[in-house]
Amino acid sequence: MKKVLIDGPYSTKIQEVDKPKALKDWALVKIHSAPICTEYKFFTEGIMPDYPLGHEASGEVVELCDDSSLNIGDRVVVMPQYPCGKCNLCKSGEYIHCLDTFDIQSFTGISEGGSTLAEYIVKPSWLLPKIPHELTYDQASMICCGLGPTYGALDRLNLSENDTVLITGMGPVGLGGIINIKDFGAKVIATGHNEYRNNLAKNLGADLIINPKNNNALKLIKEFTNGLGVNKAIDCAGSVDSQRLCIDATKRNGSIAFVGESNDLKINVSNDLIRNGLTLVGVWHYNYKLIDDLIKIAIRSKDKLNTLITHKFKIEDIHEAFYLQLTRNCGKVVIKP
């Protein structure tokens, strides 16, 4: 089967590798849609990660082994990672934090089968939720990181329809957050540095869009919220400036979820947490028990998902897809293996 390999800075190759097989309760899935996430960072560095390249997909079950709740031909979303499925974290739906993840090589006997930037993937059946007929493969693939991380954040923040939410960072994750918040009926303020993506934010229904390069974002947010600040904020940019803006723009007793990754923010326990009463949480993904809700949001929002997906490429054109992501003039980019 074909698989993407990064073989140097700004260099990719399509490699022919062994096709994996269904084994025990792991199903073999033919990948139809593989959105790309942060893999372009490895493209610029020129190194393969020490885990499979690509983690978002949807596809069709083509081979099964032992008893499985799935059938050949089922259309499924491919959830990320290889968690054990048995520990308390997995059982509670927080499999993303599992400490006992499978090593694909030692479980299947071959090192291939874990990458979504390939023609086939193997996955434990319980991590393959079925796609309802209302959704296409491309739309359903947004249930991974298109809608997922911000949906997890909104669940942790107990979003209500009366809230005004700030989302910083209009990458594909932040843009997906707008879809989730508008589905709840709440207001959303979006900040982003790229005009192409800010325009997408507008098309997805953001109530106020601010480019912090040209504006005093904090002042505009306060003006929009009668001087008080937002109830809730989600940082999807992962920069110190955007994370600090979330803290400073959230009103007293409000709550903030950090989805974008970095380790440099200084938190003032006294001013930020004690005096302002803010609640800060870190969110990587969503609790798997929310999958049915997320599928319903995807069905209600499928037109918006079509807007979020701005480009599709054949796997042979992965090089072009990574370059496009570097320009940031795109929403979600989907590879069609």
Residues engaged in binding Zn ion (CB under 5 A): 37, 56, 83-84, 87, 90, 98, 100, 145
Q: Residue 273 carries which side chain, given as an amino acid letter? A: L
Nearer to Zn ion, 155 or 272 (CB): 155
Nearer to Zn ion, 95 or 224 (CB): 95
CB of 109 to Zn ion, least distance (A): 22
Nearer to Zn ion, 97 or 219 (CB): 97
Contacts of 146 (CB under 8 A, 6+ apart): 35, 56, 172, 173, 176, 305, 308, 309, 332
Nearer to Zn ion, 56 or 235 (CB): 56
Exposure letters 25-56 (e unless 16+ CB within 10 A, then b): bbbbbebbbbbbbebbebbeeeeeeeebbbbb
CB of 230 to Zn ion, least distance (A): 26
Contact, 178 vs 167, CB < 8 A?
Answer: yes
Q: How many other CB atoms sit within 10 Å of the CB of residue 11?
A: 12
- C-alpha to C-alpha distance for 279 and 150, rounded to whole angstroms: 16
CB of 53 to Zn ion, least distance (A): 12
CB of 23 to Zn ion, least distance (A): 19
Q: Residue 47 carries which side chain, given as an amino acid letter? A: I
Contact, 303 vs 171, CB < 8 A?
Answer: no
CB of 34 to Zn ion, least distance (A): 10
As to burial, measured by CB atoms within 10 angstroms (0-12 exposed, 13-18 middle, 19+ buried), residue 184 is: middle
Nearer to Zn ion, 37 or 210 (CB): 37
Nearer to Zn ion, 217 or 330 (CB): 330
Nearer to Zn ion, 224 or 322 (CB): 322
CB of 96 to Zn ion, least distance (A): 10
Contact, 281 vs 267, CB < 8 A?
Answer: no
Nearer to Zn ion, 55 or 304 (CB): 55
CB of 98 to Zn ion, least distance (A): 3
Contact, 236 vs 174, CB < 8 A?
Answer: yes
The sign of the CA dihedral 37, 43, 44, 47 is positive
CB of 199 to Zn ion, least distance (A): 23
